Amino acid sequence: MGRSRRTIPEELLLLALDPATGTTAQPQSLDLGLAGAQLVELALAGRIAPDGDRIAVVLPRPTGDPTLDSALELLRRRGSPVRAVHWIGGPRLGLRQTYLTHLERCGMVHAVSGQMCGVLPTTRYQATETAISREIRARLDTAIRTGVPPDPRTAALAALAHAVGLGKHLYPGNEGRSCRSRLRDLIRHDPMGGLVAHAVMDVQNGVGAQPRRAQASAASGPSSGRPAARATASAGPARHLPEQSRHMAGGMVRAGAR
């Protein structure tokens, strides 16, 4: 893969970068979005393909992008297709910082060191080529405002931007409500982007952990059911006692309670 084209993770991060503050919007969910964007980029490069709700490696050949190739190698080592929600929800510590450093190395952003409250060191990032960010934003705006189906790359970028919550950053306030709604609707124009975007939202909503909770409940079910069965069995004979015996038994229980 040549470097003439920006990757979807790079574009997603540039969209999230706030030029006023030098920080990224939605930092908590952005790592998930970047992991999903890697999957879409690898799919566009023909290295992986969706298999239901899973991701399968179809061509393990490196792309030439070190960050993407690292993800591709991890997928290859799995040996079998992996659910997108499990892959995206896996440990992705530092992925946002990895891409910020990558963008700085490529000359798309530059780091500005500072301090918070005069004590804590901080690093902010400013885009060095604002024309790139404007071009990315213009593609989204065109897709939203014209209603013309976008190309798969733009559709996937829009789907991921919606999934990580960038809609309110890109189109804020009441005046941006219709644009945010159309941004969400673009999710249907790219199947892979839609699969990954839904997986990102599922991870944020905790859906990916539900099967494990269900299994835990199923595992604890029989053990919790056995005492109930024993209680029923012990109570069963009382139903067959003569009427007088039942009254006596009831009186003994009430006496014991007193």
Average pLDDT over residues 233-254: 40
Q: In CATH, what is the architecture of 8-205?
A: Orthogonal Bundle (1.10)
In the chain, which residue ranges form alpha helices assigned H by DSSP? 8-16, 27-44, 66-78, 84-88, 95-105, 130-146, 152-163, 167-170, 177-185, 191-204, 210-239, 243-257
Q: How confident is the model at residue 115 (pLDDT cuts 50, 70, 90)?
A: low
Q: How confident is the model at residue 120 (pLDDT cuts 50, 70, 90)?
A: confident
| Dist. CA 177–CA 180, nearest whole Å | 5
Instruction: Transcribe 111-165 into DSSP letters.
Output: EEEEEETTTEEEEEEEES-HHHHHHHHHHHHHHHHH-PPPPHHHHHHHHHHHHTT
Instruction: Indicate the pTM of the whole model.
Output: 0.76
Q: How confident is the model at residue 251 (pLDDT cuts 50, 70, 90)?
A: very low
pLDDT attached to residue 213: 40
pLDDT attached to residue 93: 66
| Dist. CA 102–CA 79, nearest whole Å | 29
| Dist. CA 98–CA 79, nearest whole Å | 26
Instruction: Output the average pLDDT for the chain.
Output: 80
Distance of CA 98 to the CA centre of its chain: 18
Q: How confident is the model at residue 252 (pLDDT cuts 50, 70, 90)?
A: very low
The torsion angles phi and psi of 23, rounded to 5 degrees, stand at: -115, 170
Q: What confidence tens digit (pLDDT) does each residue in 159-206 have?
A: 999 999 999 999 999 999 999 999 999 998 999 999 999 999 999 999
Q: Are 63 and 47 in contact (CB under 8 A)?
A: yes
Please give the DSSP secondary-structure letter assigned to residue 52.
Answer: T
Q: Where are the domains of the chain?
A: 8-205, 210-257
| Dist. CA 182–CA 251, nearest whole Å | 71
Higher model confidence: residue 1 or residue 13? 13
